Amino acid sequence: MESVLGRYRNLVILVGVLFLQVLGLATQVKRGGGNDPESTRLIRIWAVGAISPFERALVWGENGVGNLWHSYFYLRGVRAENRQLKNQIEQMRLEQVRLSEDAAQARRLQGLVAFKEQFISRTVAAQVIGSSGSDLSRTIYIDKGENAGIKRDMAVMTADGIVGKVLVVYPSVSQVLLISDQSSGVGALLEKTRLQGVLRGTANGEVVLERVMSDEQVPVGETVLTSGGDQIFPKGLPVGTVTAVGNGKDLFLNIKIKPAANLSKLEEVLVLVEKQERQATAEDNVRVRAADILAQRLPSVPDKPATDANSVSGAAAGSTKPSDSKSATAKPAVSKPETKSATPASPMSPTPKSPSSRTNTPSSPASPPANPQPPTTESSPQ
């Protein structure tokens, strides 16, 4: 052994150094997507891959012996248990359908309440002072760092268009990942057709737009803007123009983009350090509360007798009469919210009725079953 080590000393040292570096790589590299929180380090995959066959063999042996016992010597009550389990499965499937409907509704309401747009508030200018020196890692270094308020994942751009995002921050220097790098990804959309996609870099430094279906029409020369979907770049910033459109992998197009900013001759860039978030509203004078949307969907509850006596006399005139009679009491209540209440009313929604309905029957929503309507108009399905 010693003579072998002595004879091949240099080779042994070479293998040792290479092994250490491979180990170092394996502790850094993750499989399953670099930024995916569920991705796993390669060294763990190797370790688990080395041990798991033995574990599997052990469990297989264990199960084999157990199955032999249960399948041939212990069959009592199996048929009844099987029937019981099948019933349980059916019940759980019904429950699952109900829960997924509830979850979808909750998500829609959440989206309506929490939608925000982003705008540029403050930028910091920085000089480009270096690069990675390799065409396989497209990054640049800028002369502003933590001391200047730079943080990770801040957007970087020039007056012409976007450049990339901050990858690593040091005290007085920052590393910026360019949009032409393979690991970069930017949410983008086409200006005229409003088709959305993901902007990625390629191995040879080109920029392509992915995830656009192949049956869409994308003209050459179309402008590409940021979509805001990545929460890094505000919406509407220039990205580049379409230079070529071809068929890509699966059912998507391969759209080549010429970046608006000249990525190979960067000298000064702007770092977006502050973004303003603003609640998006459809119209300024129309505010719909989530509770009111839910109220629209709830079934109607018949009015109390005192109110019913008035509505019966008008019932012969038509279906609108009950609402008209209610409107006699509702009308004053309708005007009040519009002028002074903290919950402004919408003429198209049942909200004008809700304050009045609350005063009379706190738990009863508007009478028309599912159609929101102003008190004085005829009921019309929406």
Partner 1 sequence: MPITYTSNEQVEVYRFSIPITIGVPLLALFVQAFVPLRFPRFAVYIDLPLLVTIFFAMARRNPVAGLFTGAVIGLAQDMLGHNPIGIYGIAKTVVGYGASSLGVKLDVENAGARFLVTLGFYLVHSAVYFTVARGLVNMTQTWSWSRGILAGLANAALGTLLFFLLDKFKRRT
181/292 with CB nearer partner 1: 181
Q: Report if residue 104 touches partner 1, rule: CB under 8 A.
A: no
The residue range among 88-96, 136-144, 153-161, 223-231 that interacts with partner 1, by the rule CB under 8 A, is 136-144
Site string for partner 1, 261-290 (x = CB under 8 A): ---xxx------------------------
Which residue in the block uniquely carries the two structure tokens 């920029």?
207
Q: Report if residue 135 touches partner 1, rule: CB under 8 A.
A: yes
d(Cα 5, Cα 13) in Å, to the nearest integer? Answer: 10
**How many positions of this chain bind partner 1 (CB under 8 A)?**
40
Q: Report if residue 17 touches partner 1, rule: CB under 8 A.
A: yes
The residue range among 8-16, 77-85, 297-305, 307-315 that interacts with partner 1, by the rule CB under 8 A, is 8-16
- Cβ atoms of 160 and 240 closer than 8 Å: no
17/370 with CB nearer partner 1: 17
d(Cα 228, Cα 49) in Å, to the nearest integer? Answer: 40
211/336 with CB nearer partner 1: 211
Q: Report if residue 26 touches partner 1, rule: CB under 8 A.
A: yes
Which residue in the block uniquely carries the two structure tokens 């270096």?
130
Q: Rounded to whole angstroms, what are the CA distances from 300 to 166, 238, 343, 348, 370?
A: 55, 50, 22, 18, 7
CB of 22 to partner 1, least distance (A): 7
Residue from 45, 120, 124, 128 touching partner 1 (CB under 8 A): that is 128
d(Cα 46, Cα 15) in Å, to the nearest integer? Answer: 19
CA proximity to 152, closest of 240, 31, 35, 279: 35
CB of 275 to partner 1, least distance (A): 24
* Rg from Cα positions in the chain: 33
173/188 with CB nearer partner 1: 173
180/226 with CB nearer partner 1: 180
76/265 with CB nearer partner 1: 265
- The residues pairing with 120 across neighbouring beta strands, listed in sequence order, are 275
d(Cα 175, Cα 188) in Å, to the nearest integer? Answer: 23
d(Cα 267, Cα 126) in Å, to the nearest integer? Answer: 9
Site string for partner 1, 208-237 (x = CB under 8 A): ------------------------------
Q: Report if residue 40 touches partner 1, rule: CB under 8 A.
A: no
Q: Which residues contact 263 (CB under 8 A, 6 or more apart)?
A: 138, 163, 178, 179, 180
The residue range among 5-13, 207-215, 331-339, 364-372 that interacts with partner 1, by the rule CB under 8 A, is 5-13
d(Cα 39, Cα 23) in Å, to the nearest integer? Answer: 18
- Cβ atoms of 262 and 178 closer than 8 Å: no
Q: Report if residue 29 touches partner 1, rule: CB under 8 A.
A: yes
- Cβ atoms of 121 and 146 closer than 8 Å: no
The residue range among 18-26, 64-72, 230-238, 311-319 that interacts with partner 1, by the rule CB under 8 A, is 18-26
Q: Report if residue 183 touches partner 1, rule: CB under 8 A.
A: yes
* Pairing label, strands 30-31, 116-131: unpaired
d(Cα 61, Cα 314) in Å, to the nearest integer? Answer: 81
Q: Report if residue 329 touches partner 1, rule: CB under 8 A.
A: no
CA proximity to 323, closest of 380, 375, 360, 381: 375
10/91 with CB nearer partner 1: 10
What is the binding site for partner 1 (CB under 8 A)? Answer: 9-10, 13-14, 17-18, 21-22, 24-26, 28-29, 31, 42, 128, 130-137, 139-141, 167-168, 175, 177, 181-183, 202-204, 264-266
